[in-house]
Amino acid sequence: MENQFILPTPPLPLTPAEEEKLRGRLTGFKGGYDEGYLRGRLAILDGRPEAPLPVRNIHVMYVASGKGYPYSPLDDAVLFAIQRLAAQVTITDVRQNLVELAAAQRPDLVLVLDGMDLPLEQITTLRAAGIKTAIWLTDDPYYTDFTMKIVMHYDYVFTLERNCIDFYKGLGCSEVHYLPFAAHREHYRPTTTRSPINRDVSFIGSAYWNRVDFFREILPELMSYNTVINGIWWDRLPEAPLYGERIEIGKWMSPQETAVTYSGSKIVINLHRSHIDEVVNNNSLMIPAVSPNPRTFEIAASGTLQLCDARDDMGSFYKLGEEIETFASPKELMDKISYYLTHEEERRAIVLRAYERTLKDHTYIKRLDQMFSIIYG
């Protein structure tokens, strides 16, 4: 019997339903690969220990804000850094008698966070006793009507707003220094396993009126993606009831919960509050804000793409277009959301560069080392 060559049976053409199912599987496979690759790279970077910095032979008395949440996470971050950079640390808050405590402990430096509720005569007494005093202001320039009354009582003033430097110097403060906040790695870090959150876009923050007006202009288009907005006062947004739980009203999120949400979002919007807000601000001189807010560093530390409204001093911290993306209008924001949700490699590259930059330059340990270098040389 002669050998017979049997032609293979050609595959049957896929039905439209089968084609759709196959496309879905391929899309899901690629999405899983992209997420796994990004989280793997982030895990490698996250595993690198922070470069050790010298421990100074100083005794620091740290005076916490005493305001509770949301200031308490800032206290945690600052204190964490001080304890790794100073030989001795005494912890207290604005409700305690600092003069008596300092007389017993004899610190070299009293560092106050916020300081709005601290009796100023105590600072005067500490300075008269030869103890250095410093204040790190938390909300510049939004409450300068209050801070202008307290800054001249300190030896060193640290502000997170560049535009407040000359303002405080004009009041008679000789040592005014620009020191923005940073990322606390114990609070903000990427989820390096499969994330429990899966969003296209997130925004977390209070509904200041400039944010309400900005989002109203683009809300239908923005919410056409898998977008969720969290924060207090969002009942100011008339359209909020249309989106149910996707606009969470009145919810405060812990730093850890915020970090998980950031990390589980492909894009996080960072829209700064306005320096003009008659309802909540106390900035009668209308000092404009040009410096990045703390969220700038916290979002980058969580391993996600940040789209941030353009601020003049942003380029001092991240390379624009390489480590952070900015927008100057609602339309530009939506254009960039559309672009980066369909260009995974470009999004991933910015995420990784921003994360690496943050670990290198923008942690609280780096900031406190800079502060101590200014005070002690």
Beta bridge partners of 178: 159
pLDDT, residue 70, reads 87
Kindly tell me if the per-residue pLDDT of 193 is higher than 70: yes
Q: Decide: 144 and 125 in contact? Cβ < 8 Å.
A: no
* CA–CA dist 318, 361 (Å, integer): 10
The string of pLDDT tens digits covering residues 34-87 is 788 999 999 999 998 888 899 999 999 999 998 888 899 999 999 999 999 999
Q: Which has the minimum average pLDDT: 179-183, 251-255, 291-295?
A: 251-255
Q: Decide: 267 and 307 in contact? Cβ < 8 Å.
A: yes
Q: Which residue has the tokens 């009126």?
A: 209
Kindly tell me if the per-residue pLDDT of 206 is higher than 50: yes
Kindly tell me if the per-residue pLDDT of 308 is higher than 70: yes
Average pLDDT over residues 164-189: 97
pLDDT, residue 9, reads 67
Among candidates 217, 204, 241, which has minimal Cα distance to 329?
A: 217
Average pLDDT over residues 183-195: 94
Question: What domains lie within the chain, and their CATH numbers?
Answer: 56-182+364-376 (3.40.50.2300), 199-361 (3.40.50.2000)
Measure CA of the first residue to CA of the last residue in the chain; give whole Å: 98
Grade residue 33 by pLDDT with cuts at 50, 70 and 90. Answer: low
59 burial (CB, 10 Å; 0-12 / 13-18 / 19+) is middle
Q: What is the mean pLDDT of the chain?
A: 93
Q: Higher model confidence: residue 2 or residue 216?
A: 216
Q: Decide: 352 and 358 in contact? Cβ < 8 Å.
A: no
Average pLDDT over residues 270-298: 95
The string of pLDDT tens digits covering residues 212-243 is 999 999 999 999 999 999 999 999 999 999 99
pLDDT, residue 30, reads 57
Kindly report the length of the chain.
377
pLDDT, residue 28, reads 47
Kindly tell me if the per-residue pLDDT of 8 is higher than 80: no
Question: Global pTM?
Answer: 0.90
Report the share of the chain in percent with pLDDT over 90: 85
Q: Higher model confidence: residue 7 or residue 113?
A: 113
CB 138: neighbour CB atoms within 10 A? 21
The string of pLDDT tens digits covering residues 352-366 is 999 999 999 999 999
Grade residue 15 by pLDDT with cuts at 50, 70 and 90. Answer: confident
